[in-house]
Amino acid sequence: TRAAAVIPAAGLGLRLGPGAPKALRPLGGTPMLVHAVRAMARARAIALVVVVAPPEQVPLVRSLLDEHPPPPAVEQLVVAGGATRQESVRLGLAALPEDIGVVLVHDAARPLVPVETVDAVAAAVRSGAPAVVPALPVTDTVKAIARPGAPGEPEPVVATPERALLRAVQTPQGFDRATLLAAHDAATSDLATDDAGLVERMGVEVVLVPGHEEAFKVTRPLDLLLAEAVLARRRI
């Protein structure tokens, strides 16, 4: 069976500040989404890329991808996304042809993921792991609170989990197709912030493989500065 990448790109990018949807904002003069699609299409394992675009921007994203065609062996599809990331991923999964056996879900907001990371995730799924997540040790100590406080109010700490046992997770997260579809079907609320979280709730084992610093998510304006610097370093 073939492997596909589903790229949720339908978010607004509110934390990045005013402007176009995040996936369409330029990085090194090229929309972030184009970088993310390329990063996935370059991986040997990937035969199909499904981009989940903001509903109003589907035609724009189609023409953008036509301007930046993938390698000849890779097919591209663009579908409209939903109101949450989880809903967007679900809509992307619904567009997968029958012969896709492995699915990698990758945020458009992680445009600089190295191809080695993509290959490693795909290989681990091929070797039999139903759910594979790239992750890095956290560098900041993490505190837990009972609930988010009102803006500007101090927040009481309830716990400090041992940092050595914490990992920050990235994408692409790789899955056996049936496992990921079942996890999305079983999802009741929209609270999961990643796909592996839905798989965990079904009681299926999720494993971590090494992530990469350059697979960081562009969320706030400072992240965009860092992404521009990483890209400039690559182009030297």
Could you give phi then psi for residue 84, rounded to 5 degrees? -130, 165
Q: Which stretch binds ligand CTP (CB under 6 A): 15-23, 39-47, 112-120, 136-144?
A: 15-23
Cβ proximity to Mg ion: between 11 and 21 the closer is 11
Considering only residues 169 through 188, tell me which ones interact with Mg ion, judged by CB under 5 A: none
Of positions 40, 61, 105, 108, contacts ligand CTP by CB under 6 A: 108
Q: What residue is closest to ligand CTP based on CB? A: 11
The tokens 């370059």 sit on which residue?
A: 42
Report how far residue 30's alpha carbon sits from residue 14's, in angstroms, rounded to the nearest whole number. Answer: 20
Site string for ligand CTP, 66-105 (x = CB under 6 A): ---------------xxxxx--x-----------------
Q: Residues touching Mg ion: how many (CB under 5 A)? A: 1
Give the 3-state secondary structure of residue 74: coil
Q: Which of 12, 94, 186, 232 binds ligand CTP (CB under 6 A)?
A: 12
How far is residue 202's CA from residue 210's CA, in Å, rounded to a whole number? 24
- Half-sphere exposure in the Cβ direction for 16 (13 Å, CA): 19
Check the CA dihedral 27-28-33-38 and report its sign: negative
Q: Which is nearer to Mg ion, 11 or 130 (CB)?
A: 11
183: its two tokens: 């996890």
217 contacts which partner out of Mg ion, ligand CTP, none, CB within 5 to 8 A by kind? ligand CTP
Alpha carbons 80 and 58: distance in angstroms, whole number = 6
Q: How many CB atoms lie within 10 A of CB 105?
A: 25
Size of the site for ligand CTP (CB under 6 A): 22
* Residues of this chain that bind ligand CTP (CB under 6 A): 8-15, 22-23, 52, 81-85, 88, 107-109, 217, 219
* Residues of this chain that bind Mg ion (CB under 5 A): 11
